[in-house]
């Protein structure tokens, strides 16, 4: 009996292949976008874990200073009985566009948890230690650095991407860090006691203190997840629509099966089995598509993470069974969520239910009222979250409530508008057109809601990105005011270069940085020398009068927006740093920097941190002379390529990072719009099959099929245009929330909002094009409908 | 081609066949029929004999396989879609067996719809029709809120509201009780007598057929 019943249920799909295709496509696309994003996140997180575990840093304590540690200090510590091992770390610029994270170690003193590479024993270790030494890297890194002028390369799969490991001596030479060490590693159990006096300025960090990349990138991944979820929700609109229609069309079958002896529980169980079968098929297809989406987007994401956070993520994807299982699970959950209402109805279906399908496309006034109430509740929840919510999760909950509430409200607004249009219409065709459009609205509302979400996301994210771009490029012009940036290999060279520059440059100003703490949390501390370069350009958001004079006095400081927001600081407030008590002179914008930052005068910085690294300087020179001066400096002092960066390259790099950051969101936006277009197509195709009884009488009374087809086409365009108009305020609200709430919570800075009406026009045209494409097939089908099909409406066959 | 204003409908040697999976099926095998203005004809016959097909061909909803069809002097046999649509709009009033009201319009709008399409909307006449058909109390209700009989009456009212020259009715009283059916028939026949309208009505009821001016019986695709 079960087999017969299941076969009867499944036969529906044989007769409705398009419906089946739409259901599978909707579910596959929803799963694809969601699991694609999850694949990217999983890959990134695996990389963070691998990076955190490099050289066993997740299990070893670390000794570090404000700058590099002299090698003598290391030797002194070893002699004092400290079993420390030295590590040299830095980024080596290979050529234009390629760089490599280098780690130098001493294999002879390396503790067991740090043994990631098999260097060999005894004589086998010699090639590693002797010049030119060996560099170990994973397969992807080896492929990326192929052809670079480096020591011989060896494969070591356990190393994180973008990283190469070599003997400390070779790495010091490559990084020009001879005689200096980045930090020391130590088994925490083996520390003989507190750090001895022979190592002033050193601090001992427990093993888990440095794994910050995962935390820093959390917001970025949360953003991606939110977009994945939005795309998933848009895809589910198609699934819900297709399943709802299939359930309604099969009501006579359900009734017959019940009448023939199937219990409600068995029927529901069979439908559930059918749905899980479909979810399995679509889920597998979705996983395949998701893998492709992730593989296509990962290089951009990797570049973004590298540029923004210095986080190394491989550009290629690894297949993870856990990810596949989660993808299939979300496909099944999505299907269940979409079918819940239908299954509930079937479970409660009386045996003597009416055999005719209920008017699927008709919504009762009560249902509309319920929808209005749900929309109102969600919008109120959004308002509540805006006023009282804190944290990034509350910010995303606010976005979800706002979007869902507005989507539920859309059919009600459109219905009211159409009712008004019907009243104002003159002429029978116009009257019929508006009334008929209103009657079709419930059947199209899911697709229109999906379109609204996709358009609002496009407007919102587009506005945010464009506002960000405008602000960011303006800010870059202010912040990157030096024509050249010098990072000398050592302080002696830095001193010689700055002396040499005195008669040749307009100004040479130090850019010194130390680490400090504000309110018990780490912060960067910079020194600023009083100069017109800063007075004219530095992007201040709020300041006390005479800010620059006060800063120069050494008793005042500037803080970045992130820190000001985090600690609730304003100009004039007191500020306490270790060893210094001053006040805040101004707050400046500091986009792209995830850390807190404080600026004091250079003299104050040197007083607080005499050990500060003095290799970096900014050089002012006439822009047309910058390139020649840089060449001259390189030739005179044999400076490596990376030691001098010109403003244009730095700006170009920053803008490139910016563009790649948002390339992913742009791609997801386009995909979401595509899914919404498909939802529209699915709904229109479904409706076109159900509309014959409504169209046939009008045709019989004298409207040609062409006329009717054009009216249907116009109707789709009008609904899409109305949805676009509704998406505009919603998109702007979304942009505002992203700029003023999500960004502040996620990154700590708030951006001014700019509007771009030309982009809206472009998007409006795109929405109309999507609607026209979605309507093209059903409309063409209507125009070419055989009269026999319309005549069937008048016969007893229906 | 105009062949005299008194003849509202003329079918000459009309054949109609459909191609099916099992080969062509001939529904009409050479039908000749003439209906004059102010006359009424009942078309009877067993189920599947082709009665509705004659109505569909006469309304220009379908094309004959062979033969000629003239409506109000205009040949529509192979006329383009637009001409046939105009003829239906301006000249013909159709009453369907399954009502086929427009679900998105209320009763008043449904009644007025075709008359307004034809540019002959007469509110006084519409009110008279609504009164005669017993629809005055439900003018602002929607089709889904009406009984089958009420929907049938709206469909008849819609066809008559435009004062068409030719009314083609397919079992127009099939869903009505006997008293209502008689009242509707009386109205239809009054219109025919008063305005010179031609009425071709498909019916299974010999009692109703007997009230019309003539009766044609269709059997196996031919008029007996």
pLDDT of A551 reads 93
3-state SS, residue B170: strand
Choose the closest CB to A438 out of B104, B112, B117.
Answer: B104
Cα separation, A142 vs A164, in Å, equals 9
Which is nearest to A30 in space by CA: A331, A240, A294, A336?
Answer: A331
Q: Look up residue A50 and give its two tokens.
A: 């691998």
Under the banding of pLDDT at 50, 70 and 90, the label for residue A216 is low
Distance CA A32, CA A285 (A): 8
The overall average pLDDT reported for chain A is 82
Residue A790 contacts B where some CB pair is shorter than 8 Å: yes
| CATH number for the segment(s) B39-61+81-223 | 3.40.50.300
Q: How far is B99 from chain A (nearest CA, A)?
A: 8
CA distances from B136 to B105, B107, B108, B143, B160 (A): 16, 10, 9, 14, 16
CA nearest neighbour of A682 among A149, A9, A19, A144: A19
pLDDT of residue B4: 39
Mutation target vs B (from A697, A709, A789; most B CBs, 10 A cutoff):
A697
Determine the Cα angle at A166 with ends A163 and A172, to 5°: 100
pLDDT at A51: 67
> A786 in contact with B at a CB cutoff of 8 Å?
no
Greater pLDDT, A382 or A643: A382
Q: What is the mean pLDDT of residues A548-577?
A: 91
Of residues A701, A706, A788, nearest to B117 (C-beta): A701
- Specify the pLDDT at position B22: 76
DSSP, res A710 = H
| Chain B: residues touching A (Cβ < 8 Å) | 18, 52, 56, 59, 61-63, 81-82, 85-90, 94, 96-98, 100-105, 109, 112-114, 116-118, 144, 170
Instruction: Decide: A32 and A228 in contact? Cβ < 8 Å.
Output: no
Q: pLDDT, tens digit, for every residue of A423-444?
A: 898 888 998 999 889 888 887 8
**Mean pLDDT of all residues in A754-760:** 88
pLDDT of A276 higher than 90: yes
Question: How do residues A75-92 score in pLDDT, each as one tens digit?
Answer: 888 888 888 889 888 777
Band the pLDDT of A309: cuts 50, 70, 90: low
Q: What confidence tens digit (pLDDT) does each residue in A100-138 have? A: 788 888 888 877 666 666 666 666 677 777 788 888 888
Contacts of residue A459, defined as CB under 8 A and 6 or more positions apart, other chains included, come to A727, A728, A730, A731, A732, A734, A735, A759, A760, A763
Size of interface A-B (CB pairs under 8 A): 92
Chain B CB within 8 Å of residue A794 CB? yes
Query: Which residues does chain A have within 8 Å of residue B86's beta carbon, measured at their own beta carbons?
Result: 702
Q: Is A122 left (phi over 0), alpha (psi -120 to 50) or beta?
A: left
Please state, in angstroms and rounded to a whole number, the distance separating the CA atoms of residues B132 and A234.
Answer: 53
The whole-angstrom separation of Cα A451 and Cα A575 is 50
pLDDT exceeds cutoff 50 at A41: yes
* ipTM tops 0.85: no
Percent over 90 (pLDDT), chain A: 19
Cβ-Cβ contacts under 8 Å for A203 (sequence gap 6 or more)? A63, A64, A65, A195
Q: By mean pLDDT, which of A51-55, A247-251, A675-679 is the weakest? A: A51-55
Identity of the residue in A435, A788, A793 whose CB atom sits nearest the CB atom of B105: A435
Tell me the average pLDDT across A295-310: 73
> Which chain A residues have a beta carbon less than 8 Å from that of B100?
693, 696-697, 700, 793-794
Q: How far is A335 from chain B (nearest CA, A)?
A: 33
Q: What distance in Å separates the CA atoms of residue A41 and residue B144, rounded to the nearest whole number?
A: 53
**Are residues A702 and B88, on separate chains, in Cβ contact within 8 Å?**
yes
| Domain ranges, ordered by start, for chain B | 39-61+81-223
Q: Is A435 on the interface with B (CB under 8 A)?
A: yes
Is pLDDT of A741 > 50? yes
Output the six-digit token pair for A247. Answer: 């359930």
For B199: left if phi > 0, alpha if psi spans -120 to 50, otherwise beta; the answer is: beta
SS3 state at A3? helix
Of B59, B88, B116, Cβ closest to residue A428: B116
How many H-runs (helices) and E-runs (strands) does chain B carry?
A: 7, 10
Residue stretches of chain B with pLDDT short of 70: 1-5
- What are the pLDDT digits (tens) for A348-376? 776 555 444 444 444 466 778 888 999 99
How far CA A798 is from CA of A16, A641, A793, in Å, comes to: 17, 80, 6
Query: pLDDT, tens digit, for every residue of A167-214?
Result: 888 888 887 778 888 888 888 777 777 776 666 677 777 775 444 556
- The pLDDT value given to residue A723: 92
Cβ pair B88:A704 closer than 8 A: no
pLDDT at position A558 over 90: yes
Please answer whether residues A18 and A685 qualify as being in contact, where contact means their C-beta atoms are separated by less than 8 angstroms: yes
Residue listed under structure tokens 């087809």:
A709
For A218, the token pair is 């959390």
Q: In this predicted structure, what is the pLDDT of residue B3? A: 38
Is A795 strand, coil or helix?
Answer: coil
Greater confidence (B58 vs A661) lies with B58
What are A467-511's pLDDT values in tens digits? 877 877 777 777 778 888 888 878 888 899 999 998 888 999 998
Identify the DSSP state of A195.
P
Q: What is the pLDDT of residue A750?
A: 79
Return the closest-CA partner of residue A184 out of A93, A74, A97: A74
| For residues A22-42, average pLDDT | 85
Radius of gyration of chain A (CA): 33
The β-bridge relationship of strands A98-105 and A163-167 is parallel
């Amino acid at each position: 009996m079960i087999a017969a019943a299941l076969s009867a249920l499944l036969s529906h799909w044989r007769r409705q292949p398009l419906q089946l295709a739409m259901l599978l496509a909707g579910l596959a696309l929803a799963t694809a976008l969601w699991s694609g994003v999850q694949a990217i996140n999983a890959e990134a997180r695996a990389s963070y874990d691998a990076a955190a575990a490099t050289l066993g840093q997740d299990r070893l304590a670390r000794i570090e200073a404000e700058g590099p540690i002299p090698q003598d200090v290391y030797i002194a510590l070893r002699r004092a009985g400290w079993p420390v091992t030295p590590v040299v770390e830095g980024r080596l610029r290979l050529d234009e566009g390629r760089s490599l994270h280098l780690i130098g170690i001493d294999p002879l003193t390396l503790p067991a948890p740090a043994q990631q590479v098999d260097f060999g024993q005894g004589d086998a270790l010699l090639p590693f230690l002797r010049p030119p030494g060996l560099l170990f890297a994973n397969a992807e890194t080896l492929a990326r650095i192929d052809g670079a002028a480096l020591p011989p390369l060896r494969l070591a799969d356990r190393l994180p991407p973008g990283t190469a490991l070599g003997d400390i001596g070779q790495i010091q030479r490559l990084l020009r860090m001879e005689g200096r060490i980045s930090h020391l590693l130590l088994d925490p159990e083996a520390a003989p006691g507190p750090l001895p006096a022979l190592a002033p300025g050193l601090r001992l960090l427990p093993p888990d203190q440095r794994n910050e990349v995962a935390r820093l990138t959390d917001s970025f991944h949360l953003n991606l997840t939110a977009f994945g979820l939005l795309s998933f929700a848009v895809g589910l609109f198609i699934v819900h629509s297709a399943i709802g229609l299939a359930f309604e069309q099969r009501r006579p079958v359900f009734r017959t099966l019940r009448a023939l002896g199937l219990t409600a529980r068995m029927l529901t169980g069979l439908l559930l089995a059918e749905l899980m079968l479909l979810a399995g098929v679509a889920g597998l297809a979705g996983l395949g598509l998701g893998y492709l989406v992730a593989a296509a987007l990962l290089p951009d994401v990797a570049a973004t993470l590298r540029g923004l956070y210095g986080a190394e993520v491989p550009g290629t994807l690894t297949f993870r069974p856990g990810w596949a299982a989660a993808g299939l699970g979300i496909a099944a959950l999505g299907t269940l969520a979409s079918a819940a209402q239908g299954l509930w109805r079937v479970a409660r279906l009386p045996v003597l239910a009416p055999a005719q399908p209920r008017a699927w496309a008709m919504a009762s006034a009560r249902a509309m009222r319920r929808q209005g109430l749900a929309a109102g509740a969600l919008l109120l929840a959004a308002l509540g979250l805006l006023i009282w919510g804190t944290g990034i999760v509350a910010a995303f909950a606010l976005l979800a409530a706002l979007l869902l509430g507005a989507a539920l409200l859309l059919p009600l607004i459109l219905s009211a508008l159409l009712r008004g249009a019907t009243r104002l219409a003159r002429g029978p065709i116009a009257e019929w057109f508006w009334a008929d459009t209103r009657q079709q609205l419930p059947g199209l509302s899911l697709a229109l809601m999906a379109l609204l979400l996709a358009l609002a996301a496009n407007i919102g994210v587009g506005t945010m990105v464009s506002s960000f771009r405008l602000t960011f490029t303006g800010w870059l012009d202010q912040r990157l005011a030096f024509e050249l940036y010098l990072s000398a290999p050592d302080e002696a060279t830095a001193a010689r270069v700055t002396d040499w520059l005195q008669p040749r440059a307009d100004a040479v100003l130090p850019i010194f940085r130390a680490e400090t703490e504000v309110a018990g949390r780490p912060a960067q501390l910079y020194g600023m020398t009083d100069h017109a370069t800063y007075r004219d350009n530095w992007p201040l958001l709020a300041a006390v009068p005479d800010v620059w004079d006060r800063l120069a006095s050494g008793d005042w400081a500037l803080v970045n927006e992130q820190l000001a927001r985090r600690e609730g600081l304003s100009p004039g407030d007191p500020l306490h740093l270790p060893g210094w008590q001053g006040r805040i002179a101004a707050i400046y914008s500091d986009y792209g920097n995830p850390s807190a930052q404080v600026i004091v005068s250079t003299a104050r910085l040197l007083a607080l941190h005499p050990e500060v690294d003095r290799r970096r300087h900014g050089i002012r020179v006439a822009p047309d002379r910058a390139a020649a001066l840089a060449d001259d400096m390189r030739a005179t002092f044999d400076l490596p390529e990376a030691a001098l960066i010109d403003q244009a390259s730095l700006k170009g790099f920053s803008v490139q990072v910016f563009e790649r950051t948002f390339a992913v969101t742009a791609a997801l936006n386009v995909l979401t719009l595509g899914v919404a277009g498909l939802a529209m197509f699915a709904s229109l195709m479904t409706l076109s099959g159900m509309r014959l009884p409504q169209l046939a009488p009008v045709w019989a009374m004298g409207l040609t099929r062409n006329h009717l087809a054009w009216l249907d086409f116009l109707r789709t365009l009008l609904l899409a245009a109305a949805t676009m108009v509704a998406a505009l305020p919603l998109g702007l609200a979304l942009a505002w929330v992203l700029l003023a709430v999500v960004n502040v919570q996620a990154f700590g800075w708030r951006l001014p909002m700019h509007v771009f009406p030309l982009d809206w026009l472009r998007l409006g045209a795109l929405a109309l094009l999507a609607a026209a494409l979605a309507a093209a097939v059903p409309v063409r089908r209507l125009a070419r409908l055989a009269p026999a099909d319309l005549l069937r409406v008048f016969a007893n066959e229906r | 081609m105009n062949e005299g204003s008194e003849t509202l409908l003329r079918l000459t040697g009309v054949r109609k066949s459909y191609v099916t999976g099992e080969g062509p099926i001939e529904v009409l095998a050479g039908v000749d029929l003439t209906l004059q203005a102010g006359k009424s004809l009942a078309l009877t016959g067993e189920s599947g004999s082709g009665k509705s097909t004659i109505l569909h061909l006469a309304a220009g909803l379908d094309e004959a396989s062979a033969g000629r069809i003239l409506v109000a002097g205009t040949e529509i046999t192979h006329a383009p879609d637009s001409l046939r649509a105009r003829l239906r709009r301006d000249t013909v009033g159709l009453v369907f067996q399954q009502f086929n009201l427009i679900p998105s319009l209320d009763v008043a709008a449904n009644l007025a719809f075709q008359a307004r399409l034809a540019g002959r909307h007469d509110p006084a006449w519409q009110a008279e029709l609504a009164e005669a058909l017993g629809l005055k109390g439900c003018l602002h209700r929607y089709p889904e809120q009406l009984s089958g009989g009420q929907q049938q009456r709206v469909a008849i009212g819609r066809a008559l509201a435009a004062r068409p020259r030719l009314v083609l009715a397919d079992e127009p009283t099939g869903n009505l009780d006997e008293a209502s059916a008689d009242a509707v028939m009386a109205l239809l026949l009054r219109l025919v007598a008063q305005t010179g309208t031609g009425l071709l009505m498909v019916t299974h009821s010999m009692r109703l057929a007997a009230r019309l001016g003539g009766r044609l019986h269709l059997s196996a695709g031919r008029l007996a």
